Structure 1
């Protein structure tokens, strides 16, 4: 049974005879909580754009429904069997549409789950929330425990769940056992995409081919990274992830941002000593690698705690070495 709070004087006899135990406050957690930033919700405005798009979508759906109904009636008037065929096709289309909507909802839900885990991990690390860290680890086990690459790590993590009480150590162990193999896969995928973009750009005869392949490689890379970390984005989920990745990247300009960036990455004067086409290929490969690193941070369910965050040299070091060898 909980007791009501009471006040004591320092000269109270209860303190002297030991019947009242004074417990010091957990200053480490209090100091961490005082240093944590408290988010302030922005003032919400009326979502007029969303209302407009929803209304227009409803009108389009109604118009399509009336058009399909009229088509079925007209076909039935011509021949009854044509009407039944049209009705069956409409039912198949409706079923496929519902399946598409269900896949999109599942994909967005999984993305939101990963985002929520990452935000919860940041909050738990900031205030040293042990219970919150334990709940995050449990959700990570549910998310990755069934994978073949995480079976041993999941077993070690579950055995040590009750022995670790520090929030940082608990999340760091989950990062090492569950996410380290996924990080390795993600870095290989980014390096492969950067290499492909660099090679295609160096040998392609047209600029439009370069742009098309860069976009194709970025789309495929983002989907690959999302699947590696447990996401299954559909169309709208992919657009949502792409927006988050570009916001994280925060790079102004296009894929070809000029020779100055190439000189900063490869060294002063190096771009002038290699062929323009090779320099363009290396630049596009590096930009693809930078986009991949931003997408990795967006798709990863935990921030980098003890593991070292990958850098551009970890995924595009071969491109820089190739350019330096060509300039030598």
Structure 2
């Protein structure tokens, strides 16, 4: 027997009130995701190169271990105290090796976490996923919440945790409160590196000095930007990050075609109207700034949402002004 529908008042004592759970409407996410092509992963082949390198590395470690063992035995045969000293040094070397491995693994893990945050933010913005946006903001708070520069922004973001906010607005607030101060530090670091490269390459007597200093400045700049955004790359983590920065630089056009300052230097021939060394210094400084912007994009845990994407003019405008003054 079916029951007839009835109306109840919320203040009726006969009505038992339960916990009210507010759920976000999924229709906007479904509508935003409609028509998005889901990429199919390519079939992975057997990593024979990796297997070969792993096998050779294992054989090398075994051979090194046997050589160390033979050395310790020989030293112990000569004098027992020499054997104990060699044993202590071997243990110390193993501990240092394990510490280095741990640092490398931790650095790669932090880089992967930052990359996964950026990819998750891109996906959440594409489909307006509110729940994913909350998780991303929570991860950002755990990553930057302990910094003194982000204390006020972290407090404001924690106060908005239970608020119903759109995904793009929530991520934009996190970008403004947590990443805007870091972006300012990163732009200052890029501008400083570009000035140093421009000055050194303008006064250096040898081309080999120019090349060496440009490489040194790029390596130092990449490490600085990574630390600003929370990464601590070791050797392998740094190589992985450098590869990502160069890939981003290649995808975005290398010389930043369309940037007014780069067009001014290359299109109008500003560097050709001043001295050769000064023009070379300006171009090297601009290319260092361009690499720094690419590194900023791969080190940043969020894409640029509401904050303006930095351009060469924001970090190397002084170089152009100096070159124009020299040319005039």
Fold-level match, TM-score > 0.5? yes
Is residue 79 from structure 1 mapped to residue 98 from structure 2 by the alignment? no
* Alpha-carbon shift at residue 270 of structure 1 (Å): 1.8
TM-score normalised by L of structure 1: 0.88
Name 2:308's counterpart in structure 1: 308
Give 1:228-267 correspondences, 5 Å limit: 228-250=228-250, 265=265, 267=267
Q: Distance in 1 between matches of 2:152 and 2:229?
A: 18
Partner of 1:94: 94
Structure 2: state its 5+ residue gaps: 8-24, 256-260
8 Å Cα contact 2:279/2:323 also seen in 1: yes
- The alignment's TM-score, normalised by the length of structure 2, stands at 0.88
Instruction: Tell me, in whole angstroms, the C-alpha distance in 1 between the residues paired with 2:68 and 2:211.
Output: 39
- Cross-structure match for 2:196: 196
1:78 deviation in Å? 1.0
1:21 alignment counterpart: none
**RMSD between aligned alpha carbons?**
2.2
Partner of 2:212: 212
Do 2:271 and 2:280's aligned partners in 1 also have CA atoms closer than 8 Å? no
- The C-alpha deviation readout for 1:45-70, integer Å capped at 9, x for no partner, is 11011001101100110111111111
Q: Residue 121 of structure 1 contacts residue 133 of structure 1 at CA under 8 Å; is this kept in 2?
A: yes
For 1:230 and 1:164, locate their aligned partners in 2 and report how far apart those are by CA, in whole Å: 29
Deviations 1:63-106 (A, max 9, x none): 11111111111111111111111110000000000000010111
Distance in 2, matches of 1:254 and 1:327, equals 26
Q: 1:246–1:199: structure 2 CA closer, same or farther, 3 Å change rule? A: same
Q: Deviations over 1:21-66 (max 9, x none)?
A: xxxx865323310243422211101101100110110011011111
Any unmatched runs of 5+ in structure 1?
1-13, 19-24, 256-260
Give 1:207 deviation, angstroms. 0.5
Pairs within 5 Å for 1:75-224? 75-224=75-224
Instruction: Summarize the Cα distance change of 1:324–1:49 in structure 2 as closer, same or farther, 3 Å threshold.
Output: same
